[in-house]
Amino acid sequence: MGTNNLNCSVSFEIPIRDEIQSPKALRLLSSPNYVRNDSDLNERLEKARERRSNVLAETINRNEQHVHLAKSKCEQEKEKLVNRSNELMENLTEDLAQKSSRRQQIIDKIVNRNKKEVKRFVISCLLD
């Protein structure tokens, strides 16, 4: 077992190219069928613009639908809250009216009872 083999170093050279091209671009440029044609490029650019325009229009449409849905949901929730609030107000009004009526009945009962007692007292005083 030699320890000399473990102490050796290895180096690699990596060439640096100034031009960086994607593999697809290299294949297209090297293929014999590929001919750079301005009309081809213009056609491709126009198709790309159309695709972008279509995607943008679709995105705008989806966003508008989402906003419309969110607004309608908010309106529904607002309507529910208003209805609930109105219902609570009606219940409170009815409850207050019932309590007021009960108080008035109790007061009338007490007044009538006291009147009867006063009449009895007056009658008993007159008879004496």
For the segment 47-84, what is each residue's pLDDT rounded down to a tens digit? 999 999 999 999 999 999 999 999 999 999 999 999 99
pLDDT band at 41 (very low <50, low <70, confident <90, very high): confident
**pTM for the full model?**
0.46
CA–CA gap between residue 103 and residue 111 (Å, rounded) = 12
pLDDT at 1: 47
| Residue 69 Cα distances to 60, 66, 74, 79, angstroms | 14, 5, 9, 15
Phi first, then psi, for residue 118 (nearest 5°) are: -65, -40
d(CA 11, CA 25): 31
